[in-house]
């Protein structure tokens, strides 16, 4: 093959394996260009913040974009209202007063963001609104209003682009993540079965558990994003909860306690199967006088 054909073949192979990333690149670029046009059409004082917002909120899937847009808009609105109020009510006509007012405007926003990552944009918004009057030469209330408008434009454009331009559904990403996790488990299964006949070092076992745990983490994240898509009724997709099969109730328990819980569950399942087999055998081969015994076994199996 010629160098040109070889290069083209490699490019096609690379593109096929990086489809989500390439679609994200197209969506982010489109969101930035469209937001800039919208900002100029609306005569926004600083188009930079609207464009940055659109790029930040254009995520790799629709579900992730929905969550990021909601969180960013809520935290921006709260931070703008609070910082604008502080800027209007707390006088800062000298250098020392500026330091005090900035601390009052920023500290609660930082604390809120630390307590709840959903409000991570609040500190940034508080600083922007506080110093906004020095940039736009307006009052603190007007600066807060302009900040909210800029973010709203970026949010709307970014979300619309995520829905229209090469949309990537979180449901599809969750299925892909589940497939990758199952393939990884299948690849490690023969190696784990070798542990029945020979010893496996702890480093190997820890590496296997870590890689499977990371794969499950990606599946868990994608399933959560798919849940946001279903909540907004953008697409009727099945719930991935049965695929995950967990509620996080054992996450904080020690490893020894988790092992005992799973061992107990396995033992109860086996006991259930044995009791069902016993009931079937008594029914099929036992005389009529053993009907009561069979009934007791069936009931015991149902309890298990």
In this predicted structure, what is the pLDDT of residue 291?
A: 52
Per-residue pLDDT of the chain (304 residues; tens, 9 = 90+): 677 777 777 777 777 777 778 888 888 899 999 999 999 999 888 888 889 889 888 887 777 788 888 888 888 888 888 888 888 888 777 888 889 888 998 999 999 989 988 888 889 888 888 887 777 677 778 888 888 888 889 988 988 888 888 777 777 777 788 888 888 888 888 887 777 777 777 787 788 888 888 888 888 777 777 776 665 555 555 555 555 575 556 667 777 777 777 777 777 788 888 778 777 776 766 554 445 545 555 555 554 4
Residue with tokens 């963001």: 113
Give the pLDDT score at 32.
92
Q: What is the pLDDT, as a whole number, of residue 239? A: 58
Taking CA atoms, 24 is separated from 56, 174, 229, 278, in Å, by 11, 17, 17, 58
* C-beta of residue 234 within 8 angstroms of C-beta of residue 163: yes
Q: State the pTM of this model.
A: 0.60
Q: What's the pLDDT score for residue 153?
A: 92
| Angle formed at CA 86 by CA 84 and CA 89, multiple of 5 degrees | 105
Task: Please report the pLDDT score of residue 282 as a whole number.
Answer: 67
Instruction: Give 207-238 as a DSSP string.
Output: HHHHHHHHHHHHHHHHHHHHHHHHHTTSS---
Residue 171's pLDDT is: 73
Would you call 284 exposed, middle or buried from its count of C-beta atoms within 10 A (0-12, 13-18, 19+)?
exposed
Measured between alpha carbons, how far is 149 from 96 in angstroms, rounded to an integer?
A: 31
How far is residue 48's CA from residue 61's CA, in Å, rounded to a whole number? 24
DSSP classification of residue 97:
H
DSSP assignment, residue 137?
-
Give the span between the Cα atoms of 15 and 23, in whole angstroms: 10
pLDDT of residue 34: 93
Buried b (16+ CB within 10 A) or exposed e, 213-250: eebbebbebbbbbbbbbbeeebeebeebeeebeeeeee
Question: Residue ranges of the alpha helices (H) in the chain?
Answer: 3-17, 19-41, 47-57, 62-89, 95-115, 122-136, 140-164, 170-193, 202-231, 241-244, 255-285, 291-303
User: What pLDDT is attached to residue 249?
Assistant: 61
**What is the 8-class DSSP label of residue 119?**
G
The residue ranges of DSSP E strands in 6-163, in sequence order, are none
């Amino acid at each position: 093959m010629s160098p040109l054909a070889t290069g083209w073949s490699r490019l096609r192979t690379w593109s096929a394996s990086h489809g989500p990333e390439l679609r994200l690149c197209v969506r982010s670029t489109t969101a930035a260009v469209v937001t800039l046009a919208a900002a100029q059409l609306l005569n926004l004082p600083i188009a930079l913040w609207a464009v940055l917002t659109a790029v930040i909120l254009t995520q790799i899937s629709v579900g992730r974009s929905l969550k990021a847009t909601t969180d960013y808009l809520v935290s921006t609105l709260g931070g703008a209202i609070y910082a604008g109020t502080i800027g209007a009510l707390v006088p800062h006509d000298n250098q020392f007063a500026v330091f005090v007012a900035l601390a009052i405007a920023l500290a609660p926003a930082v604390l809120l963001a630390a307590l709840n990552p959903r409000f991570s944009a609040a500190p940034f918004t508080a600083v922007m609104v506080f110093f906004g009057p020095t940039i736009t030469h307006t009052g603190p209330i007007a600066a807060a209003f302009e900040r909210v408008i800029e973010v709203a434009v970026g949010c709307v454009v970014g979300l619309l682009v995520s829905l229209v331009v090469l949309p990537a559904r979180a449901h599809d990403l969750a299925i892909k993540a589940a497939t990758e996790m199952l393939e990884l488990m299948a690849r490690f299964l023969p190696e784990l079965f070798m542990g029945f006949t020979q010893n496996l070092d702890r480093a190997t076992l820890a590496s296997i558990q870590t890689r499977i745990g990371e794969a499950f983490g990606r599946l868990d994240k994608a399933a959560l994003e798919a849940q946001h898509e279903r909540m907004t009724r953008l697409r009727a997709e099945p719930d991935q909860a049965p695929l995950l099969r967990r509620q996080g109730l054992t996450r904080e328990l020690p490893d020894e306690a988790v092992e005992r819980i799973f061992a107990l569950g396995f033992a109860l399942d086996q006991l259930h199967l044995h009791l069902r087999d016993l009931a079937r055998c008594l029914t099929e081969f036992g005389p009529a006088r053993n009907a009561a015994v069979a009934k007791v076994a069936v009931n015991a199996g149902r309890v298990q």
